[in-house]
Amino acid sequence: MEFKRARRPEQVEQRRRTILDAACAMLRERPVADISLRELSDRVGLAKSNVLRYFDSREAIFLEVLDQEWGAWLDELEGELAPGAADAVGTATAVATTLLGRPLLCELVSGMAGVLERNIRVDFARVVKRRAAEHRGRLADLVRVAVPVLDEAAAHHFAGVVVVMTAGLWPHANPTDAVAQVMRELGGPPAGELVREGLTEGLVNHLVGLVARS
């Protein structure tokens, strides 16, 4: 695919959308840490210098994808949570289930601090952190509506825990062939099942504990 330089706003937006779509496609194939700017540029059909006309860096591209995926997940979660249910187990389970149903989001959350925030300018870092805080705030609001006994501080704490637990567990969901073989030899469940159970149980136990303290 070959592009002429975009000049009109709608052309610029089209180029940006094409780059983001290519990034999403590549994330379905391998972890974000394994995707180089050159590979992404080749997938789009642009030189690296041309890709950087639309985004400041490789990391900025994936952080834009993260923002979109995070918002889409919260839209989905809002439709899953019943207002006033006061059911910590059901609420935490819905959070974990819908989150794990979005592997791109989990992958990007797991790489946010260690990979994606390592090569961005201060002004874009402000944007990234503001967006992340807004997403966590919206998650806290959704959980608090579903479990009204929670106060604002507890709900925001839980929202932060969701991010931290996802970031910690998701890298274990896709082990190398060697590690997967050893896990089978040890008689353990598949890695994906371990991550699903770990995130669900961890979030349930945490939210139940916060409700008990309330």
Which pLDDT band, with edges at 50, 70 and 90, does 214 fall under?
confident
List CB contacts of 206: < 8 A, sequence separation 6 or more: 92, 158, 161, 165
User: Residue 86's pLDDT band (boundaries 50, 70, 90)?
Assistant: low
pLDDT in tens, 1-31: 444 555 668 888 999 999 999 999 999 998 9
Q: What's residue 1's pLDDT?
A: 44
* Average pLDDT for 171-195: 90
Going from the C-alpha of 10 to that of each of 62, 70, 150, 208, the distances in angstroms are 21, 24, 45, 48
CA dihedral 172, 174, 178, 184 (to 10 degrees): 80
Separation between Cα atoms, residue 197 and residue 203, nearest integer Å: 10
Average pLDDT along the chain: 92
Q: Under a CB-based contact definition with an 8 Å cutoff, are residues 15 and 52 in contact?
A: no
Cβ-based burial of 61 (10 A; exposed 0-12, middle 13-18, buried ≥19) = buried
Cβ neighbors of 80 (< 8 A, separation 6 or more) are 94, 98
Q: Which two tokens stand for residue 128?
A: 């990234």
In this structure, the number of other CB atoms found within 10 A of the CB of residue 150 comes to 24
